[in-house]
Amino acid sequence: MELRQLQYFVKVARKQHVTQAAEELHVAQSAVSRQIHQLEEELGIHLFVQKGRNVQLTPAGKLFLARIEGVLTGLDRAVQDLREFMDPELGEIRIGFPHSLGIHLLPSVIADFRKDHPNVKFKLRQGTYHSLIRDVLKGDLDLSFISPVPEQHEALTGQVLLTEELHAILPVGHVLADYQHLRLEQLRNESFVMFSEEYSLRAIVLDACRKAGFTPTIGFEGEETDTIRGLVAAGMGVSLLPEMALNETSPLMPVRLRISEPKVTRTIGLINRSSGEKLPLVTEMFRRFLLEYFQTE
């Protein structure tokens, strides 16, 4: 059994398509098919079944995938640890983040870190609240920014880095647009532009509206802060967004107002696995940098 066979197997299992897997691996489709066939012959069992142009894992294939992914992750980590043992400054930091932090915060902290560590590489992955937690637990990420930090999660360790206020955003011609601030209750009859259900900001806004005594009418949904901001600016409704998401300027911008009652905030934190395994040296160096960075800021 060769490492290449296992790598090809995992890629085909994830793509469920031999041709697409071959394209990502930059090898011929016949080479991938041959390696998979040889692996199945050696194991004495079929790992895939054909479904039209796609392939699907057999029950045995699913069991094998669950074990092999852990093996390959461990092998990658061993190689990475060895490189970092030789020189942590040549290591790679695997970190996740929600979209709302990718506009300003993440680029800023990486730029500051790289002033003293210019050769460190970053592998970044954007995701939703639940997907980021899943990727950290699976070992695909070592760290992730997240909002909010999960409470009492037995498999995760988290630290709150900062608390950020959410502002109301309105179309320019809105009757409340000239106010300096507003009570959230004043928006009870408005149509809201809301994040879709997998985003934690949706839950924060819904909870704030409930505290203000109403359930918002949702007219439109989006998955990125740019989309929410643009829809509101175009007159499609009102919404609440974090301050960080309102620093960018564009030709079509909504009016932003502070909310006097209730105060609406979100926490932003950092998570990693709490299984007892040590973070790679360069990742631990970056984690400590982040804690100091946000204490200073």
One-letter amino acid for residue 293 of the chain: Y
The pLDDT score that the predictor gives to residue 89 is: 77
- pLDDT band at residue 296 under the 50/70/90 scheme: confident
The pLDDT score that the predictor gives to residue 91 is: 82
The pLDDT score that the predictor gives to residue 146 is: 94
Find the mean pLDDT for residues 209-230. 93
Helices (H), 222-280: 225-233
Is the pLDDT at 297 greater than 70? The verdict is no
* Tokens found for residue 30: 């016949």
The pLDDT score that the predictor gives to residue 223 is: 85
- Residue closest to 92 by CA, chosen among 282, 277, 278, 285: 282
Helices first, then strands: H and E counts in the chain: 9, 12
The pLDDT score that the predictor gives to residue 85 is: 64
For the chain, what is the radius of gyration of the CA atoms? 23
The pLDDT tens digits of the residues spanning 120-137 come to 999 999 999 999 999 999
Asked if residue 148 has a cis previous peptide bond (ω within 30° of 0), the answer is yes
Domains of the chain in sequence order: 3-82 (1.10.10.10), 87-147+274-296 (3.40.190.10), 162-267 (3.40.190.290)
Q: Alpha-carbon distance 295 to 297, whole Å? A: 6
- Residue closest to 118 by CA, chosen among 90, 150, 146, 157: 90
The pLDDT score that the predictor gives to residue 3 is: 87
The pLDDT score that the predictor gives to residue 261 is: 92
Is the pLDDT at 244 greater than 80? The verdict is yes
The pLDDT tens digits of the residues spanning 74-117 come to 888 777 777 766 666 778 899 999 988 887 889 999 999 999 99
Q: Answer whether 240's CB lies under 8 Å from 212's CB.
A: no
